[in-house]
Amino acid sequence: MIVLGIESSCDETAAAVVDNGRNVLSSVVYSQIELHQPYGGVVPEIASRSHVEKISGIISSAMIQAFGNGSEESIDTSWWNKLDAVAVTYGPGLASSLIVGLSEAKGLALRIGAPLIGINHVEAHIHSVFLSSGAPEPAEIFPYLALVVSGGHSCLIEVTALNTCSIIGQTLDDAAGEAFDKAAKMMGLGYPGGPVIDKLARSVDCRSTIDFPKGRPRAGNPILGGLDADLCVSFSGLKTSLMYYLKKNPPADNAEVAAIIASYQEAIVDALAQRCSIALLRGNYKALAVGGGVSLNSRLRERLTAVSQAAGVPVLLAEPRFCGDNAAMIAGLACMGAGVTGAEAMELDVVPSLAAGS
Can you give the binding site for other proteins, defined by CB under 8 A? 10, 39, 41-46, 92-96, 151-153, 170-175, 178, 182, 185-186, 222-227, 232, 236, 239-241, 243-244, 352-353
Q: Which is nearer to other proteins, 172 or 269 (CB)?
A: 172
Nearby residues of 55 by Cβ (< 8 Å), 6 or more positions away: 6, 8, 13, 15, 100, 101, 104
Q: Which is nearer to other proteins, 75 or 246 (CB)?
A: 246
- For residues 218 and 234, give the distance between their C-alpha atoms in angstroms, rounded to a whole number: 10
Question: What's the min distance (Å) between Cβ of 218 and other proteins?
Answer: 9
- Cα Rg of the chain, angstroms: 20
Question: What's the min distance (Å) between Cβ of 258 and other proteins?
Answer: 22
Question: What's the min distance (Å) between Cβ of 306 and other proteins?
Answer: 28
With beta carbons less than 8 A apart as the criterion, state whether 92 and 290 touch.
no
Question: What's the min distance (Å) between Cβ of 97 and other proteins?
Answer: 11
Q: Which is nearer to other proteins, 21 or 217 (CB)?
A: 217
Q: Is the peptide bond before 143 cis (omega within 30 degrees of 0)?
A: yes
Q: Which is nearer to other proteins, 222 or 320 (CB)?
A: 222
Question: What's the min distance (Å) between Cβ of 40 and other proteins?
Answer: 8
Question: What's the min distance (Å) between Cβ of 224 and other proteins?
Answer: 7
Q: Which is nearer to other proteins, 33 or 243 (CB)?
A: 243
Q: Which is nearer to other proteins, 75 or 227 (CB)?
A: 227
Cβ count near 136 (within 10 Å): 14
Question: What's the min distance (Å) between Cβ of 208 and other proteins?
Answer: 19
Q: Which is nearer to other proteins, 83 or 224 (CB)?
A: 224
Work out whether strand 85-91 and strand 116-120 pair parallel, antiparallel, or are unpaired: parallel
- For residues 204 and 258, give the distance between their C-alpha atoms in angstroms, rounded to a whole number: 7
With beta carbons less than 8 A apart as the criterion, state whether 324 and 152 touch.
no
Helix axes 298-311, 193-202, angle to 10 degrees: 80
- For residues 148 and 334, give the distance between their C-alpha atoms in angstroms, rounded to a whole number: 18
Q: In sequence order, what DSSP letters do the residues of 297-311 get, joined into one string? A: -HHHHHHHHHHHHHH
Q: Which is nearer to other proteins, 104 or 181 (CB)?
A: 181
Q: Pick from 332, 312, 354: which is nearest to 128 by CA?
A: 332
Question: What's the min distance (Å) between Cβ of 295 and other proteins?
Answer: 17
Cβ count near 265 (within 10 Å): 26
